[in-house]
Every structure is written in structure tokens, then in C-alpha cells.
């Protein structure tokens, strides 16, 4: 019983840390703010990456790879961009170590100072746009649709496993277009890719929206986002897609000749999701017994556990039956593990696979064999069923789909119950304190008001939902006129 988790209701943060560590997703590392992603966590990320990668390619993008290091001067070319990232950049100043003449191991060789310092990329707009300058001359070179899978570094003061670490893995798409309209369409298209991924694969409902000026990406004209709601009532930005206008094209002088042979700057987008999605997945679905993973992303979808007894003949029959079942499931493309390891007993395995979030567990013992059934347990509801061995593969296939759907519906219900329409300041504060979740309220559109609300309540405007209903109202704080409601929440 060494792996009991902190109760979700007692201490949500501690529960989150416990579950990430004990389910084997990740571990702390020797480096401040950086984590080790363990095989179970990395397998989850690989599945996310593979699905997204296919979606990117299906929408016409190609992968490429740009350097980890960015010359310091590049970063200062776009004013808003510098301001956004300067405070959290790791800087490389030297390129060589040497033995300490005083015997203290190695030291930085003071003679190996770089002429120009290098920044470890916090994001790659600058290095990429300095390159695009050479790639784009004519409208025939456009659109340029590139994505890269990479690691980035942002020197965060306070880190949390997956949600905010100094180094993280992500993908960043960077595209160049001939017209503003095309670029805006691309921005929206990729937001929709993220939304589809969140809903259909992560089983996580999200709200599509646009950020306010305060929350906008440094250097963007418009930042679109998908916002998810975690079980503790806090919001989490799960993906962003930016319309960059001509800001980077101007900063890096990326021009093209159009059909009329007129020179113009290209229009840009960038978009990204990160390993933060793993944290989102954990906080959206998991419970006090451990992870609950959606079948479409779970590293393993089905675990099969034999329950043997002393009888060698029965043991062999159980083993043969389950080996056969494993093969059949694999043939159907189901990710399955037959845990025939004799070192751990069934009870231990049940608990362990629940902790790891395995969607479906099949157990078979002598008793079941006699009745021609298997015990099938689903992780999302913890329901156990006796299912006939005849047609078991079909039952499991269907069950995996049911689980995927049920997880989404359950999260959707929770999310919808946690969007509160509020029309007075007192109510706003009360709902924030007592219920959490999204608050749909009127706002006068000014950054000052948004900032005040943030200081008073910690709540920020998560987004202005796309296709938002236009409705006359009064700002929740100032009483000034407003044309639409926006979504507030305390966020991760």
C-alpha cells in the first residue's frame, strides 16, 4: 500500500504531483525546473505527437528543424516579442570548459567567450523568419507551411510537472502567406485542428476563443486559443494559434513579388501545443485511484491478467486462452498487454494498472473458465462485468469506444455545469470563491479593467469565445457599456 495518492479533495496540487510521480509519467531531475519524462509519460506524448503530426500533414504542412540556439541580436528585432520573452531566456556565453588550475574540477574557460551570445530558444519565430527571408522571393514560394517538433526553454520562476517546466517539448508551426486573409484562415484552421484533437482524442471539451490584448502572444496581432477546464475549477490554456500579421516579416525583411510584380511583406502565423497537454489530460479525467486515460491516447488500451491457482492443468488452459485473446486483440490493432508476470499477484496488478490509467482490464481465472466468461473492468467508471468469452474481442472493441465517449461526455457535463453567467460584482466574487470554473460576464473592453479584476480576484479573461453572442450589457466592474460577455477564470 505504498502507492496511495493524496485525496483529490484534500489537496488538489499534491494529488496532481502524487499521480504524476507514482503513475510513472515523470520524475524530478537533477536540474532545477526540469523534469524527466518517464516511459509511460513519453509513450502518452508520442501518441499525442503521432496523431497531431498526421493532422498537420493532412492540412498540408511539412516538418523541418531549426537550431536550438538563437543569436541574441535576432531576439531584439521585434519589439513586443523581446519584451515578452527577455525575462526568461537562458543565455550561452562560452563554448569551452577547462580543468580548474586550482583543482576544483572543470571551470568555464574565460578565454572562450562568444563574440555574440546565443539564446536557447524560448520559441523559434526569430530564427525561422531570418531563414524564411532566404526562402521567399515570389508569390510562387507561398504559402510556406512548416512545423517543427522541438524542445524549448523558458526560465520559469515556479515550475510544475508538465504544466510549467523550464524545458518542455512542443511543436511550433510557422507559416507564411501572400494575403492577410489566407493567414487568418490558417490561424483558424490550426485552432480547429487543436480543438478536434482535444475533443476527439483527449476526450477533453474546450472552448475556442480569442485572447484579449493583455493575454496575447508577444508579437501577435491576434491570439486564438482553446481553453479547457480542470477538475479543480481552474482553466488551462491547451493550445494557441497566432495571427502574426506582418510583424515578423517586417522585422526580418521577408518580402515577395506578387503577380503584378509589386513587393509586399508576407503574412504570418504560428501555432503550438506542448507537453503541457499531458498535464491537462491528467487533470481533466483522473481520480483518487490514479490516471484515467482515454483509449485513443492510452499507451496500452487493454491489460490481461491471469488468475492462476495450484492446478498446473488449469494454469495452462488459462494461459493458452489469454495468449489467444492477446493475439486476436493485437490483430484488431488494439494496444494490449498480457501481464503473465508471476512476481506480482493479481490484486497488486489491479491496483497498479488502475494507477497507470489502463482503460480496460480483463481478468480470467479457473472460475471464469468454467462459466465461459472473463471479468472485464473499465477504468472510467470502475464497473466490472462478466462478459462471454465468445465474441469477447468485439465486446472489448466496443467498450473502448464507449469509454472514449463516456469520458468526453462526463468532462463536458462538468464543464457546462461550471460556466456561470454572472451580472454583478458581488456574484462574480462569490462564484469565483465558492464554485470556480468559467464565469461568463460583461467587460468594458479595457486592459485597465481586466488588470484590476486580475489584481482583485486572480481571475483573468481566458478568452472571448468565437461566434460569441452579441448582447448589450454593463461591465461587471465599472458598469461601462459592453457588447458581449467574455469568459473569466482563475488559470494555470
Partner RNA sequence: CGGGAUAUAGCUCAGCUUGGUAGAGCACCUGCUUUGGGAGCAGGGUGUCGUAGGUUCAAAUCCUACUAUCCCGACCA
Contact residue for RNA among 126, 212, 237, 270 (CB under 7 A): 237
Region 163-222 residues binding RNA, contact defined as CB under 7 A? 163-166, 168, 215, 217-218
Q: How far apart are CA 116 and CA 150, in angstroms?
A: 23
For position 38 contacting RNA by CB under 7 A, the verdict is no
Q: Which of 348, 391, 398, 452 binds RNA (CB under 7 A)?
A: 348
Q: How far apart are CA 376 and CA 387, in angstroms?
A: 7
Q: Is 69 in the site for RNA (CB under 7 A)?
A: no
Which of 417, 419, 171 has its CA nearest to residue 276?
Answer: 171
In whole angstroms, the minimum distance from the beta carbon of 253 to RNA comes to 26
* Residue 342 or 426 with smaller CB distance to RNA: 342
Determine the angle formed by the axes of helices 276-285 and 12-22, rounding to 10 degrees. 110
Distance in Å, CB of 237 to RNA, minimum: 4
Nearer to RNA, 141 or 402 (CB): 402
* Strand 62-63 relative to strand 144-153, pairing: parallel
Q: Binding of RNA at residue 17 (CB under 7 A)?
A: yes
Q: Shortest distance, CB of residue 137 to RNA, whole angstroms?
A: 33
Identify the CA nearest to 186 among candidates 270, 252, 251: 270
Three-state DSSP state, 65: coil
Smallest gap from Cβ 398 to RNA, in A, equals 20
Residue 90 as a binder of RNA (CB under 7 A): the answer is: no
State yes or no: residue 308 binds RNA (CB under 7 A): yes
Supply the minimum distance, in Å, between the C-beta of residue 380 and RNA.
13
Q: Which residues contact 93 (CB under 8 A, 6 or more apart)?
A: 113, 114, 117
313 phi/psi in degrees, rounded to 5: -70, -45
- Asked whether position 309 contacts RNA by CB under 7 A, the answer is yes
DSSP assigned state of 88: G
As a whole number of angstroms, the distance between CA 240 and CA 82 comes to 19
440 Cβ contact list (under 8 Å, min separation 6):
419, 420, 421, 422, 485, 486, 487, 488
- 268 vs 355, beta carbon nearer RNA: 355
By CB under 7 A, name the one of 60, 67, 324, 347 that touches RNA: 347
Task: Outline where DSSP puts E strands in 315-469.
Answer: 336-338, 360-365, 373-378, 384-388, 419-421, 438-442, 460-465
**Window contacting RNA (CB under 7 A); options: 339-347, 390-398, 441-449, 464-472:** 339-347
Would you count residue 467 as binding RNA (CB under 7 A)? no
With contacts defined by CB under 7 A, name the span among 139-147, 363-371, 465-473, 474-482 that binds RNA. 363-371
Which of residues 10, 58, 342, 434 is near RNA by CB under 7 A? 342
Q: How many residues bind RNA, per CB under 7 A? A: 65
* Residue 242: burial class (beta carbons within 10 Å; 0-12, 13-18, 19+): buried
Which residues are near RNA by CB under 7 A?
A: 1-4, 13-14, 17, 28, 31-33, 84, 87-88, 154, 156-161, 163-166, 168, 215, 217-218, 237, 240, 274-276, 289-290, 307-310, 342, 345-352, 354-355, 363-369, 375, 377, 382, 384, 458, 491-492
Amino acid at each position: 500500500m505504498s502507492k496511495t495518492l493524496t485525496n483529490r479533495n484534500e489537496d488538489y496540487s499534491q494529488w496532481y504531483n502524487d499521480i504524476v510521480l507514482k503513475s510513472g509519467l515523470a520524475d524530478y531531475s537533477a536540474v532545477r525546473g526540469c523534469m524527466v519524462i518517464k516511459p509511460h509519460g513519453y509513450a502518452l506524448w508520442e501518441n499525442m505527437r503521432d496523431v497531431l503530426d498526421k493532422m498537420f500533414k493532412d492540412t498540408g504542412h511539412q516538418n523541418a528543424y531549426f537550431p536550438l540556439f538563437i543569436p541574441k541580436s535576432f531576439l531584439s528585432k521585434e519589439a513586443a516579442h523581446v519584451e515578452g520573452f527577455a525575462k526568461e531566456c537562458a543565455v550561452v556565453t562560452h563554448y569551452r570548459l577547462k580543468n580548474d588550475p586550482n583543482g576544483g574540477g572543470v571551470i568555464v574557460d574565460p578565454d572562450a567567450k562568444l563574440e555574440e551570445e546565443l539564446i536557447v530558444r524560448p520559441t523559434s519565430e526569430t530564427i525561422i523568419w531570418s531563414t524564411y527571408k532566404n526562402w521567399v522571393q515570389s508569390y510562387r514560394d507561398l504559402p510556406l507551411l512548416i512545423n517543427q517538433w522541438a524542445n524549448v526553454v523558458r526560465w520559469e520562476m515556479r515550475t510544475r510537472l508538465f504544466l510549467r517546466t523550464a524545458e518542455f517539448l512542443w511543436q511550433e508551426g510557422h507559416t507564411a502567406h501572400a494575403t492577410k486573409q489566407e493567414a487568418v484562415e490558417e490561424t483558424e484552421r490550426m485552432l480547429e485542428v487543436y480543438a478536434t484533437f482535444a475533443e476527439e482524442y483527449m476526450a477533453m471539451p474546450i472552448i475556442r476563443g480569442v485572447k484579449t490584448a493583455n493575454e496575447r502572444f508577444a508579437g501577435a496581432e491576434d491570439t486564438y486559443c482553446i481553453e479547457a477546464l480542470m477538475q479543480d475549477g481552474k482553466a488551462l490554456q491547451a493550445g494557441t494559434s497566432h495571427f502574426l500579421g506582418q510583424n515578423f516579416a517586417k522585422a526580418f525583411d521577408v518580402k515577395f513579388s506578387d503577380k503584378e510584380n509589386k513587393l509586399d511583406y508576407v503574412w504570418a502565423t504560428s501555432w503550438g501545443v506542448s507537453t503541457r497537454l499531458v498535464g491537462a489530460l491528467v487533470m481533466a479525467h483522473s481520480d483518487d485511484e490514479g490516471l484515467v486515460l482515454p483509449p485513443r491516447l492510452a499507451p496500452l488500451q487493454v491489460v490481461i491478467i491471469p488468475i492462476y491457482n495450484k492446478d498446473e492443468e488449469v494454469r495452462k488452459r488459462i494461459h493458452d486462452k489469454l495468449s489467444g485473446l492477446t493475439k486476436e486483440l493485437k490483430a484488431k490493432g488494439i494496444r494490449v498487454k498480457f501481464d503473465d508476470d508471476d512476481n506480482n499477484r493479481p490484486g497488486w496488478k489491479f491496483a497498479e494498472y488502475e494507477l497507470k490509467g489502463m482503460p480496460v482490464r480483463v481478468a480470467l481465472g479457473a472460475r471464469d473458465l468454467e462459466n465461459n466468461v472473463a471479468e472485464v473492468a473499465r477504468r472510467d467508471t470502475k464497473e466490472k462485468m462478466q462478459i462471454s468469452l465468445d465474441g469477447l474481442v468485439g465486446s472489448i472493441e466496443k467498450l473502448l469506444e464507449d469509454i472514449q465517449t463516456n469520458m468526453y461526455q462526463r468532462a463536458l457535463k462538468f464543464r457546462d455545469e461550471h460556466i456561470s453567467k454572472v451580472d454583478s460584482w458581488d456574484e462574480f466574487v462569490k462564484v469565483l470563491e465558492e464554485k470556480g470554473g468559467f464565469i461568463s460576464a460583461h467587460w468594458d473592453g479595457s486592459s485597465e479593467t481586466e488588470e484590476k479584476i486580475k489584481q482583485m480576484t486572480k481571475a483573468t479573461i481566458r478568452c472571448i469565445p468565437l461566434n460569441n453572442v452579441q448582447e448589450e450589457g454593463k461591465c461587471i466592474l465599472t458598469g461601462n457599456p459592453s457588447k458581449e460577455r467574455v469568459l473569466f477564470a482563475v488559470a494555470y
